[in-house]
Chains A and B, each alone.
Chain A
Amino acid sequence: MRLILLLYLLPVLPLLGRTVTVSKTGPLTSLKQAVAQAQPGDTIRVQAGTYAEGNIVIEKSLVLLGEHYPVLDGRHKDELLTVHARNVIIQGFRFVHTGISSIHDLAGVRILDSEAVRIRGNQFDDTFFGIHISNSSHCRIEDNTLHAQVRVEHQVGNGIHLWKCQHMTLHNNRVHGHRDGIYFEFVTNSLITENYSEGNLRYGLHFMFSHNNEYRRNTFENNGAGVAVMYTYGVKMLDNTFAHNWGSSAYGLLLKDIRDSEVHHNRFIQNSVGIFMEGSSRIRFTQNEFDGNGYAVRLQASCDDNTFQQNNFQANTFDLATNGTLVLNHVDGNYWDKYQGYDLDKDHIGDVPFHPVSMYSMVVEQMPAAVLLWRSFLVLLMDNAEKAIPAITPENLKDNSPAMTPHDLH
């Protein structure tokens, strides 16, 4: 029996390394010491308890497993784990109270110049930056919960902060109360799925110069300024939800200088502005749902060659707003609940084009305070007069084949 077991384990043994247990009751009570003594490939099990040992630097391939969420406490002055190695796994810890410093960007877990690091199932509470990764690749960040309770932007960093990384995976993380929930700069070829970024002070998701990334089934809700993405090409956003981003400069999704991208099957629910875009080109918006937004889409005249097809526009105050009369974008085959046309040939496509830009949205664009007169009889008259004889709204911005019934997007 023993022989069989030994034979079974034999091929694995050289990979396995030793397992060391750190616990408050001893014999090994210090995680720092355990890390220092460990050989590459070792596993360190950490039992429950509070470990306030300052900054711990990991420079070899280790597996750190927390049992019942041992607490790493930074006592409001330290960074907690700093990883500078390949093949490190950090799982099941609770990181609390890092220091606050805008110069050093103190983080719960900092990873730099590393590869294939996994940060899995950890809790971050009251950390300045939660997870801060720079110049790394092939890392996987999943099932983490990040939470901060600060009220002012300069006293908290970003939840998950990535700078100059490739081939990263972010899956099923929950970020709440940070400055930016998820922040990317120069991050390419990465996959971001099923994350939940809610109640952050600034942006739920914020990226720049991060090309060819894919965002799937994420939810960005109730963030101070929604989601803002800039200076990027090859963005894929599929099945995400952007909801309840309210405020004078809050956007469900702000696209600035984005090109050659795809926004497909997302839901934009009750945002002040569903999508705001400027300087963006060649983006395809298909099968998205815009429901109950102040503005569903604000398309600045600086955008060109964007396509809106098969989207549903329902219960928005204004469906589409623009700031000029030049129209270089294509709007076709969407469902608009404000469409009043008819369908005589019964092909489920309206026979007269729909002009999605309402005249009053142009007025409100000029005079924000005028929004208070919306839905008054006067505005109704003005809007209908404009529909009959377009004078202010861009005449060519129209949907030539509006759908008679909402597209089934479920």
Chain B
Amino acid sequence: MRRIIQYVLYDILRTRFMLLYTALLFISTLAMFQLDNDPSKVVMSLLNIVLMVIPLVGIVFTTIHFYNSYEFIELMLAQPVDRKVIFLGEYIAVACSLSIAFLLGCGLPILLYGATPAAITLLCCGTVLTLVFVSLAFLAAVLTRDKAKAIGVALLFWFYFSLIYDGFLLWFVYAFSDYPLEKVTLALIALNPVDLARVIMLLQLDISALMGYTGAFYKSFFGSHTGILLSTTLLAVWIALPCYLSLHIFSKKDL
């Protein structure tokens, strides 16, 4: 397995995309810190990157990478190696390289300019979202044989989680605004990893607003130990479940 991870990592580095991605994140984060003296405002701007760009890059890159290394996978399958090992090797290599790229790109400037609790939370959320969307990308990739179709599915995932789902949620809140919605919205938030990460960040950034209205309920939930445990578990499920599903499909798939 280590050999496979090594080969895949080498392959990823060779394309130079990862270097570019890291550099882009690094420069934009650095620029934000230099344009704005207030670290908490930078975290707000970075939040947009973490919620939009990180999932998009993660899911598209992973899907394309999977199809580009199709021949490598086929070659490996010809060897007496377990399919699980090949799949997990691919997964770990891609997930690690994307996470490290993000952590280096955004983390270094944050460490340089002020690691507030909000910024650290943001880094954690970004890493977790990377892992979630790598998992989803693998799922999209093993679902079809066609590269274009897989990218389409991957993009659809991204659209769904960052836009369509929120639209649905807003409509839901609007339609049922006469009812107590705290618990229901909380449950619905859990069904979207991007929203989950966003709410965890909201508790850092907009705590005053959240404390008004129904916010006290969310605060007491997410602020409590069970809440933190539950949201972490849910995010872990969002990483593990698509990964497991795609592993399952990959193991049985006629390549």
Contact of A371 among B41, B44, B209 (CB under 8 A): B209
Is B79's CB within 8 Å of the partner chain A?
A: no
Is A378 a contact partner of B216 (Cβ separation < 8 A)? no
Q: Does B93 contact A (CB under 8 A)?
A: no
Alpha-carbon separation in the docked complex, A267 to B214 (Å): 26
Contact assessment for A247 and B177 in the assembled complex, using a CB-CB cutoff below 8 Å: no
- B166 lies within 8 A of A367 (CB): no
For the complex, is B227 an interface residue (Cβ under 8 Å from A)?
no
From DSSP, what is the main secondary structure of chain A's interface residues? loop
**Stretch in A43-51, A137-145, A182-190, A268-276 with 4+ CB within 8 Å of B:** A268-276
Of A18-26, A33-41, A68-76, A287-295, the stretch lying at the interface with chain B is A287-295
| Residue A248 interfacial (CB < 8 Å) | yes
Within the complex, which residue of B48, B199, B202, B211 is in contact with A380, where a contact is CB–CB below 8 Å? B48
B250 at the interface (CB under 8 A from A): no
Contact check, A374 vs B209: say whether CB atoms are below 8 A apart: yes
A337 at the interface (CB under 8 A from B): yes
Q: In the complex, what distance in Å separates the CA atom of A153 from the CA atom of B209?
A: 25
**Given that A376-B51, A377-B51 are contacting pairs, would A369 and B212 also be in contact in the complex, using a CB cutoff of 8 Å?**
no
Checking A248, A271, A370 against B173 with a beta-carbon cut-off of 8 angstroms, the contacting residue is A370
Taking a contact as CB atoms closer than 8 A, the residue among B48, B173, B211 that contacts A369 in the complex is B173
Known: A369-B173, A378-B166. A315 touches B38 (CB 8 A): yes
Residues of chain B within 8 A (CB-CB) of A11 are: none
Considering the chains assembled together, what is the distance between the CA atoms of A250 and B177 in angstroms? Answer: 22
Q: Quick one: which of B52, B189, B209 contacts A272, CB cutoff 8 A?
A: B209
B176-219 CB mask vs A (1 if < 8 Å, else 0) is 01000110010001000011001101100111111111111010
Whether the pair B218, A372 counts as a contact (CB closer than 8 A) is yes
CA distance A179 to B212 in the complex (A): 21
Chain A 253-272, CB within 8 Å of chain B: the 1/0 string?
Answer: 00000000000000000111
Cross-chain contact B177 with A294 (CB below 8 angstroms): no
Of the residues A294, A371, A374, A377, contact of B163 by C-beta under 8 Å: A377
Which residue on chain A has the smallest CB distance to residue B162? A377
Is the Cβ of A315 less than 8 Å from the Cβ of B51? Answer: no
CB pair A371–B198 under 8 Å, yes or no, is: no
Most chain B CB inside 10 Å of its own CB: which residue of A271, A273, A369: A369
Chain B 155-185 interface mask (CB, 8 Å, partner A; 1/0)? 0000000110011011001100100011001
Q: A294-B211, A375-B198 are in contact. Are A317 and B166 (CB under 8 A)?
A: no
Report whether B206 and A317 are in contact in the complex, using a CB–CB cutoff of 8 Å. yes
Total interface residues in chain A, CB < 8 Å: 33
Which of B52, B199, B208, B218 has a CB less than 8 Å from the CB of A294? B208
Contacts known (A367-B177, A375-B202); A247 close to B185, Cβ less than 8 A: no
Interface size class for chain B?
35 or more
A385 interface hit (Cβ, 8 Å): no
A14 interfacial by beta-carbon distance below 8 Å: no
Q: Which of A271, A295, A378 is packed against the most chain B CB atoms within 10 Å?
A: A378
Interchain CA distance A331-B44 in the complex, whole Å: 26
Q: Is B106 an interface residue (CB 8 A)?
A: no
Chain B, range 10-58, C-beta contacts under 8 Å to A: 38, 40-41, 44, 47-48, 51-52
Report if A337-B41 is in contact (Cβ < 8 Å); known contacts: A292-B208, A371-B213: yes
User: Which chain B residue has the least Cβ–Cβ distance from A273?
Assistant: B212
Partner of B208 from the list A270, A314, A367 (CB cut-off 8 Å) is A270
**Min CB gap B68→A, angstroms:** 29
A233 in the interface (beta carbon within 8 A): no
Residue of B167, B185, B206 near A375 (CB, 8 A) is B206
Q: How far is the CB of A216 from chain B (nearest CB, A)?
A: 25
Could you tell me if A295 and B213 are in contact, using CB atoms closer than 8 angstroms? no
Residue A9 lies at the interface, judged by CB distance under 8 Å to chain B: no
Q: Contact between A369 and B209 (Cβ–Cβ < 8 Å)?
A: no
A-B contact pairs, 19 of them (CB 8 A): A247-B212, A248-B213, A272-B208, A314-B38, A315-B41, A317-B209, A366-B177, A367-B174, A369-B177, A371-B212, A371-B214, A372-B195, A372-B199, A373-B169, A373-B195, A375-B51, A375-B198, A377-B51, A377-B163
Q: Closest 9 interchain pairs by CB? A: A294-B209, A272-B212, A317-B209, A368-B213, A246-B211, A294-B208, A378-B166, A369-B181, A317-B206
Additional A-B contact list (14), CB under 8 Å, known A248-B215, A294-B208, A370-B170: A248-B214, A271-B208, A292-B208, A315-B40, A315-B41, A368-B213, A369-B177, A369-B181, A369-B213, A372-B173, A372-B195, A375-B44, A375-B206, A379-B166
